[in-house]
């Protein structure tokens, strides 16, 4: 792939987008197009289409999304479904209208049924009810996935829209908001504050028995670039017969109880960990099958403890 190909990374300031941009630069890609929210409102169709006409990106990576943890998804469902649908609809349709060569759409493991068989294969999509705490976000991401698939079917000689479904992500550039963040950044902030203020205990939502799989943001970036560089023929060769997307997992899962212990140890917090059973667990288990990515020659390289340590070091810089 030529290094001067024009690549637009939507959402370049976020956890995922920033990791992708950093990796693209390291690999020598020199025509990366970046726009802040002030420069380009992805929710406005006319703005987005005018941007595509002016800059003519050849590859579009959709890392822009409204994201959050259990609290944010439950509290602001209208915002989650509206903003995500508008962002992805505008980017996907404008990519088709402006003959973009390749699109990478990033979804989320929450698209799968709440009680899906584990590990979760790509074929399990739409085979059962969704987790109620994040249904609005999940429906939006499912819509983006089906939209990409529909355009590929209707305009198969024109479009090459690829979809990746990563597991729970973390890393530098994450959101550390007390209520709106995901579990790892939320716990990093909580344990750090408890250590600094000598709190005797820290509360963690749920009973601690829910299990989660985590992927470091730089590993996801590596997977995205890996998929981006594949030929259309090779990408389609390994797809499931029933789906147009590929899971991106780490191959390891941890209970929230184990995760809390790992984070508290890395931070050096010596107090008691208490689990608030009045708060929701979310889906009890989300463990993705990573078989297709293995066949495509990719696997993650960052261990959870190492990734959390790197993330915590970055958090301390922000907190200082």
CA 312 to chain centre: 19
Strands 102-106 and 168-170: unpaired
Instruction: Give the burial class of 99: count Cβ atoms within 10 A of its Cβ; 0-12 exposed, 13-18 middle, 19 or more buried.
Output: exposed
Rounded distance between C-alpha atoms, residue 1 and residue 228, angstroms: 9
Which two three-digit tokens encode residue 294? 């293995």
137 is catalytic: yes
Spot the catalytic one: 71, 96, 124, 137: 137
Please list the active-site residues: 137
């Amino acid at each position: 792939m030529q290094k001067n190909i024009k690549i637009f990374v939507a959402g370049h300031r976020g956890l995922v987008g920033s990791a992708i941009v950093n990796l693209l630069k390291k690999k020598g890609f020199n025509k990366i197009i970046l726009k802040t929210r002030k420069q380009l409102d992805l929710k406005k169709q006319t703005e987005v289409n005018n941007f595509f006409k002016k800059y003519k990106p050849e590859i579009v990576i959709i890392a822009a999304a409204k994201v959050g943890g259990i609290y944010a998804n439950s509290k602001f469902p209208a915002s989650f479904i509206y903003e995500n649908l508008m962002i992805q609809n505008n980017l996907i349709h404008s990519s088709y209208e402006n003959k973009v060569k390749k699109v990478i759409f990033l979804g989320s493991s929450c698209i799968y049924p709440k009680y899906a068989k584990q590990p979760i294969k790509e074929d399990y999509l739409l085979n059962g009810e969704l987790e109620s705490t994040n249904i609005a976000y999940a429906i939006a991401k499912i819509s983006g996935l089906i939209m990409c698939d529909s355009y590929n079917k209707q305009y198969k000689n024109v479009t090459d829209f690829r979809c990746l479904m990563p597991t729970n992500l973390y890393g530098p550039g994450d959101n550390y908001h007390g209520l709106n963040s995901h579990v790892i950044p939320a716990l990093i902030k909580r344990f750090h504050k408890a250590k600094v203020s000598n709190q005797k205990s820290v509360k963690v939502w749920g009973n601690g028995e829910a299990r989660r799989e985590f992927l470091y943001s730089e590993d996801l970036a590596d997977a995205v670039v890996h998929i981006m560089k594949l030929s259309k023929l090779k990408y389609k060769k390994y797809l499931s017969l029933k789906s147009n997307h590929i899971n991106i997992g780490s191959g390891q899962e941890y209970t929230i109880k184990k995760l809390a212990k790992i984070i508290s140890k890395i931070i050096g917090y010596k107090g008691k960990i208490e689990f608030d059973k009045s708060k929701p667990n979310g889906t009890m288990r989300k463990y993705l099958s990573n078989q297709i990515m293995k066949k495509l020659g990719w696997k993650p390289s960052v261990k959870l403890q190492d990734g959390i340590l790197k993330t915590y070091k970055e958090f301390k810089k922000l907190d200082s």
